Amino acid sequence: MKTYLNQRATWMRGAFAAVVLGLLSACASTPDFPPAPVTAGTDDYSYIIGPGDSVNIIVSRNPELSMVVPVRPDGKISTPLVDELVAQGKNPQQLAREVEQALAKYVRDPVVTVIVTNFIGPYSEQVRVVGQAAKPQFLPYKQKMTLLDVMIAVGGLTDFAAGNSATILRSSEGNKQYSVRLKDLISRGDISANVEMRPGDILIIPQSYF
């Protein structure tokens, strides 16, 4: 009986050691994804309007028609002379031209300028942060937004984050996944780990078990 117990204890110690070694190897390994390109933004990016945005519609020579209106959850806006106009998915210039067309029925040669005053953007353009961030959330994309900008906005990493195992899921490239080095960037100040974001990126920060 004693021999059996000793053999069982030896087997259990060996099995436990194998499990621990496997976990250590898994945590030490880096994601099997290519590193994210340092430059990702485009110079011709134009902001896309989404639900929750506020737009300032300025009608030249007609101040009574100029006002700030919200983009409703259905993606539409309403003004006294323009009812049920879709704003979602358009940039400010495109929306201005459509407002002009709608107002042309009532106003001679309307000239309209649209300025976005509250930025949320459509879901497809938002940058999402999930996992072990201090404040996981979505962020409106901004021109030349970087990984460091995103991490400042979400308050950094939790104590349980595997920062150097984080990845970016890039919807603009058919959900291609890239590895990023958040721990090197935030804890070690390695600016070479800073990369540009793209509209629709999802930053995934896994948990470390050690």
Report the candidate in 63, 117, 116 with the shortest Cα–Cα distance to residue 93. 116
Shared domain for 199 and 128, answered yes or no, is: yes
**Residue-number span of the structural domain to which 166 is assigned:** 35-45+123-205
* pLDDT tens digits, one per residue of 107-153: 999 999 999 999 999 999 999 999 999 999 999 999 999 999 999 99
H helix intervals, 61-181: 92-103, 147-153
Instruction: Choose one of 81, 100, 118: the last residue of a domain.
Output: 118
Average pLDDT, the chain: 87
Shared domain for 130 and 40, answered yes or no, is: yes
pTM for the whole structure: 0.79
pLDDT of residue 29 exceeding 60, the answer is no
Instruction: Choose one of 70, 98, 118: the last residue of a domain.
Output: 118
Report the candidate in 51, 168, 177 with the shortest Cα–Cα distance to residue 120. 51
Instruction: Choose one of 63, 91, 118: the last residue of a domain.
Output: 118
Shared domain for 127 and 108, answered yes or no, is: no
Shared domain for 84 and 97, answered yes or no, is: yes
Contact 145, 41 (CB under 8 A): yes
Shared domain for 96 and 128, answered yes or no, is: no
What CATH number should be reported for the domain holding residue 94? Answer: 3.30.1950.10
If one counts the domains in the chain, the total is: 2
Residue 16 lies in a domain: no
* pLDDT tens digits, one per residue of 193-205: 999 999 999 999 9
Contact 166, 204 (CB under 8 A): yes
* pLDDT tens digits, one per residue of 63-115: 999 999 999 999 999 998 998 999 999 999 999 999 999 999 999 999 999 99
Shared domain for 41 and 127, answered yes or no, is: yes
